[in-house]
């Protein structure tokens, strides 16, 4: 009898929960079956406004096809073969993009969607296809900006532009919709929720601050839109975890706030001119907090301050605990790196930190001559021991642009490969490297045997990284 009573009680609770999930009218009563004239609940009205801003992107690349036997002079002489002409195979790949400025023809997508492409074709929601050119790309964040002829874009209808939302206000559990071109099928819409924010440590890009969602994101969705229920763009779909090659409910998007800053730099300058604060940090933990005699449990500890950097000029010292960069709270080293990704030359921001138990706020300006610096090991293990920085020269001094080796640790792997401080990397794997973004992308062409071209004391040299 007791079991029967308990079962009945549980069934009653389950029925009450199901009833509570049903929609109710203003009067609080359960609605009757919808009549023929009543509209069904739907996202269709919002999607009708948003989907025209999402485009399909097709890229075409000419890949050299060679038989390694024909590269062997002995083999050619033995069989009396003439020297072989280069042959190419045309490859095609698909992705997605978002129209972010219809009046000027700008489209935002992922860098990996268009990198190495010889031709780029954009297909609009109405079926028209337009040729696109690359304005600029940033491999560190995996974003790129394309441009189509704005007159062609507006030929049949006024151009549409995505409305940006504030990705900083997203919360876990918010509903979102992903729009893209999965598997090259054409424009597809999937829905889900925000599963997590501030995701990092995926090893996908140099700067990671991803939105995680369970809205289905599959190959081909890259570069597409992640929008909220108001139709505002809150993210650019960029990566998935796919053990079996398809969606498993774990997708990642670049936050819209970060994308806007990177997009503005690419449109204005054709590249991202990141500023360099000159701070090396690590996450705060209980042991460090106890060692410094502070009661903070969130923040990052300054471990080193570069000489002649903006941070040094502002008076930062090792042991300072940073808790805010600009308007963003800094809880972890990931937060710090994500904010550093959108600090550009010419910016000025407030930094809040703790020293000797007291909070302080200082304003730090990033001058025009301070460019982003990165540890070479972040780009490739064989560059371990180097510190790299974007280089700007001039006609009267060395090369016009490249990546300068600010420091090479003696005895490091890079040192053993023959690299030295003040070398300027101008190409990698036969691809020009005007900046860190170009260098990163060039290394991806051949991760196993990267070959770099450097400028040193008035001469060019070629170095194979071993």
Q: For the segment 285-315, what is each residue's pLDDT rounded down to a tens digit? A: 887 777 777 777 788 999 888 766 788 889 9
* Helices (H), ranges, 126-230: 150-153
Token pair of 238, please? 């960029």
User: Exposed/middle/buried for 411, CB within 10 Å: 0-12, 13-18, 19+?
Assistant: exposed
* Angular region, 303: left φ>0, alpha ψ -120 to 50, beta rest: alpha
Query: What ranges do the domains of the chain cover?
Result: 52-153, 167-269, 279-365, 374-464
Sequence-ordered strand ranges (E) for 366-430? 373-375, 386-394, 397-408, 424-428
Catalytic residue among 93, 96, 112, 195: 112
* 47's tokens: 């999607």
Active site residue 195: no
Compute the average pLDDT of residues 230-250: 78
- Element at 345 (helix H, strand E): none
Asked if 142 is an active-site residue, the reply is: yes
Segment 173-190 shows an average pLDDT of 84
Q: How much is the CA Rg of the chain, to the nearest whole Å?
A: 27
Rounded to two decimals, the pTM is 0.70
What was the pLDDT predicted at 277?
84
Fold classified for 279-365: Pdz3 Domain (2.30.42)
Q: Which of 111, 138, 142, 438 is catalytic?
A: 142
Say if 279-365 and 374-464 have the same CATH topology. yes
Q: Which CATH number fits domain 167-269: 2.40.50.140, 2.40.10.10, 2.60.40.420, 1.20.1060.10?
A: 2.40.10.10
Among the residue ranges 49-53, 67-71, 228-232, the one predicted with the least confidence is 67-71
Q: Which of 124-128, 225-229, 273-277 has the lowest mean pLDDT?
A: 273-277
Catalytic residue among 93, 96, 222, 412: 222
- Residues in a beta bridge with 56: 96, 123
Pick the CATH number of 52-153 from 3.40.50.2020, 3.40.640.10, 2.40.10.10, 3.60.10.10: 2.40.10.10
pLDDT at 25: 39
Instruction: Of 364, 394, 393, 389, give the one whose Cα is nearest residue 376.
Output: 389
Interval 442-457 mean pLDDT = 83
Whether 112 is catalytic: yes
CATH number of 374-464: 2.30.42.10
Q: What value does the mean pLDDT take over residues 107-135?
A: 91
The token pair that represents 70 in the structure block: 């024909």
Structural contact between residues 413 and 385, judged by C-beta atoms closer than 8 angstroms: yes
């Amino acid at each position: 009898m007791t079991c029967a009573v308990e079962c009945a009680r549980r069934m009653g609770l389950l029925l009450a929960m199901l009833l509570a999930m049903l929609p109710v009218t203003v009067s609080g009563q359960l609605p009757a079956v919808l009549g023929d004239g009543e509209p069904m609940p739907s996202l269709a009205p919002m999607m009708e406004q948003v989907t025209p801003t999402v485009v399909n992107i097709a890229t075409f690349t000419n890949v050299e096809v060679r038989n390694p036997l024909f590269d062997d002079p002995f083999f050619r002489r033995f069989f009396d073969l003439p020297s072989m002409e280069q042959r190419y195979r045309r490859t095609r790949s698909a992705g997605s993009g978002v129209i972010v400025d219809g009046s000027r023809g700008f489209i935002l997508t992922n860098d990996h969607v268009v990198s190495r492409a010889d031709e780029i074709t954009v297909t609009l929601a109405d079926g028209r296809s337009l040729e696109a050119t690359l304005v600029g790309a940033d491999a560190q964040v995996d974003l790129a900006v394309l441009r189509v002829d704005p007159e062609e874009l507006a030929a049949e209808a006024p151009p549409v532009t995505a409305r940006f939302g504030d990705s900083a206000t997203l919360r876990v559990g918010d509903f979102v919709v992903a729009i893209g071109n999965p598997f090259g099928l054409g424009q597809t819409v999937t829905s889900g929720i925000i599963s997590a924010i501030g995701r990092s440590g995926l090893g996908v890009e140099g700067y990671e601050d991803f939105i995680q969602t369970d809205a289905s994101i599959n190959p081909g969705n890259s570069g597409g839109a992640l929008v909220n229920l108001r139709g505002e763009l809150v993210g650019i779909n960029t990566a998935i975890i796919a053990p079996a090659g398809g969606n498993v409910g774990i997708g990642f998007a670049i936050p819209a706030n970060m994308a806007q800053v990177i997009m503005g730099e690419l449109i204005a300058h054709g590249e991202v001119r990141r500023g360099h604060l000159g701070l090396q940090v690590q996450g705060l933990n209980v042991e460090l907090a106890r060692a410094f005699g502070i009661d903070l449990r969130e923040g990052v500890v300054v471990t080193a301050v570069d000489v002649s950097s903006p941070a040094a000029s502002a008076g930062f010292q090792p042991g300072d605990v940073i808790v805010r960069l600009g308007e963003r709270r800094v809880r972890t080293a990931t937060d710090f790196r994500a904010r550093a990704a959108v600090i550009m030359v010419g910016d000025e921001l407030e930094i809040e930190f703790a020293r000797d138990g007291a909070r302080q706020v200082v304003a730090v300006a990033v001058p025009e001559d301070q460019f982003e610096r990165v540890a070479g090991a972040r780009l490739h293990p064989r560059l371990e021991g180097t510190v790299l920085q974007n280089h700007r020269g001039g006609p009267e001094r060395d090369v016009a642009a490249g990546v300068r080796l600010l420091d090479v640790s003696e005895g490091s792997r890079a040192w053993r490969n023959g690299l030295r401080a003040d070398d300027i990397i101008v190409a990698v794997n036969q691809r020009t490297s005007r900046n860190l973004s170009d260098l990163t992308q060039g290394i991806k062409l051949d991760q196993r045997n990267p070959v770099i071209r450097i400028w040193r004391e008035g001469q060019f040299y070629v170095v194979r990284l071993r």
